[in-house]
Amino acid sequence: MADTPLASATACDALHADILISGAGPVGLTLALALARRGQPSLLVDARPTNASRADPRALALSHGTRQLLEQLGAWPTQAATPITTIHVSQRGGFGRTLMNAAEMGVPALGYVVRYGDLWAALAARAEREGIAWRGDTRVADHGSVADGRRRVTLTSTGQGDAAAQPCATRLLVHAEGTPYDDPAVSVKDYGQHAVLAEVSTAQPHGNRAWERFTPDGPLALLPLEDKLAVVFTVPPEKAEHLLALDDAAFVAALQAQFGQRVTFTGTGSRASFPLALRLRDTLAGEREVWIGNTAQTLHPVSGQGFNLGLRDAWELAETLTPAVPHLVHTPDPGAAAPLAAYAQARRLDRRGGAAFTDGIVRLFSNDSTPLTLARGVGLLALDLLPPARRFVARRMIWGARAW
């Protein structure tokens, strides 16, 4: 894909866009593709320059269910995805461990690890092929006013300030802007943890195994990515600063000390960190606006739920706005209240379940109280001994609320 915006929509095309998607991250892109597949055009607008999305340092664990949906959109990054065939779960300083494997679940892989940038590039390339209208380097400001059946927004060219501001109007504004900060409509639970990210090399091949190790600082995940392991090292903020400041050898030693000896680390790439909090928007639908992806819910990365959940938001919204019943196709007004309310209702269980699942794991495992260490050991042992319980946890990770 070129580094310039895609089919560069000319001045204020949003005036004619029935659906304006604010944010062309992986969730916004998924929605635009899912709508296009059902014959519904939309306009994508993103504040970031194109290259910024490619360089995002996150490695994402994607579920088997996510792969199936991305394949339907023609946006599965085959070459860039590393399968996970087993997941080893354990706790530092306590007994008990469990092993989940793909064969037991009857799927080719429990999940796949992909760099955010590679996932984004696959979605963007598909959007380019579909001819989806896109403006990059442009921020959407929502003024909260609706008139004549349209929501009024302003598009501002990033870097050119207010001089380049354009008033626009759309029947439906979809917020796909990523993690919301300072938004009174979002409840926030700060975990007092940061995730330090790095790609590390190891003495042994990873054998497509992912590791989830619970420590009193927080969970430590190792995800197979090409011939390396992507590390999500959860620690208190001051320790994150310390880990970022270490030289490579000292970082590898700190990782080794935290993880233990089951894997031998030999080197590391560059590091980045993200603050971690649970952010839940109470109401998903308003007057001619709707929220999807991280702006609807931002979860702790433990068990890799965030994008998987956001993709299901996008899929559900596309299905709700363009029902696959011939006489209902092309809802004349995609911003009408009824479909938006139906979308919000349909997403309740999955998003609340995902938030409760990850929050429960973080609370249960991120401390070193002796009774809890014992209880966790018993839990991990039970998971190991009880295939139905193990299958349930694996299904939760693969299918979300459909696991029930």
Which is nearer to ligand FAD, 35 or 140 (by Cβ)?
Answer: 140
Residue 65 binds ligand FAD (CB under 6 A): no
Residue among 86 and 331 whose Cβ is closer to ligand FAD? 86
Which positions from 10 to 29 touch ligand FAD by CB under 6 A, shown as an x/- string? ------------xxxxxxx-
DSSP element (H, E) containing 157: strand 150-157
> What would the two tokens of residue 309 be?
């959940």
Tokens 């009408």 correspond to 336
Among 19, 34, 36, 61, binds ligand FAD (CB under 6 A): 61
Q: Which of 114, 195, 278, 397 is close enough to bind ligand FAD by CB under 6 A?
A: 195
| CB closer to ligand FAD out of 25 and 96 | 25
Selection from 282, 276, 285, 292 nearest residue 361 by Cα: 276
48 binds ligand FAD (CB under 6 A): yes
Options 7-15, 242-250, 263-271, 304-312: segment touching ligand FAD (CB under 6 A): 304-312
The DSSP element (H or E) to which 111 belongs, if any, is: strand 111-115
Return the number of the residue (211 or 307) whose C-beta is nearest ligand FAD.
Answer: 307
Residue 140 sits in the site that holds ligand FAD (CB under 6 A): yes
- Considering only 9, 31, 33, 46, the residue that binds ligand FAD (CB under 6 A) is 46
Q: Which of 293, 334, 339, 379 binds ligand FAD (CB under 6 A)?
A: 293
> How far apart, in whole angstroms, are the C-alpha atoms of residue 331 and residue 339?
9
178, 218, 219, 339: residue in contact with ligand FAD (rule CB under 6 A): 178
Residues 385, 242 contacting (CB under 8 angstroms): no
Is the CB of residue 165 less than 8 Å from the CB of residue 11? no
Task: Using the Cα atoms of residue 156, residue 142, residue 309 and residue 40 in order, give the sign of their dihedral.
Answer: negative
Half-sphere exposure of 77 (CA within 13 A, CB side): 23
Count of other CB atoms within 10 angstroms of residue 205: 9
Q: Which residues contact 378 (CB under 8 A, 6 or more apart)?
A: 96
| 52 vs 342, beta carbon nearer ligand FAD | 52
How does 235-244 read in b/e, with b if 16+ C-beta sit within 10 Å? beeebbeebe
**107 is an interface residue for ligand FAD by CB under 6 A:** no
46 vs 199 by CB, closer to ligand FAD: 46
347 belongs to the binding site for ligand FAD (CB under 6 A) = no
Triad 204, 205, 209: Cα angle to 5°:
110
If binding is defined by CB under 6 A, does position 58 make contact with ligand FAD? Answer: yes
Quick one: CA torsion of 374, 378, 381, 386, rounded to 10 degrees?
Answer: -170
Decide: is 225 part of the binding site for ligand FAD (CB under 6 A).
no
Task: Name the residue number minimizing CB distance to ligand FAD.
Answer: 25
Which position among 13, 177, 199, 289 is part of the footprint of ligand FAD (CB under 6 A)?
A: 177
| Residue 218 within binding range of ligand FAD, rule CB under 6 A | no
Q: In Å, how far are 73, 268, 314 from 29, measured between CA atoms?
A: 11, 31, 9
Contact between 396 and ligand FAD (CB under 6 A)?
no
Of 41 and 275, the one with the shorter C-beta distance to ligand FAD is 275
Minimal CA–CA distance to 132: which of 57, 265, 13, 32?
A: 32
Q: Any contact of residue 232 with ligand FAD (CB under 6 A)? A: yes
- Residues of this chain that bind ligand FAD (CB under 6 A): 22-28, 45-48, 53, 58, 60-61, 139-140, 176-178, 195, 197, 232, 274, 293-294, 301, 304-308, 310
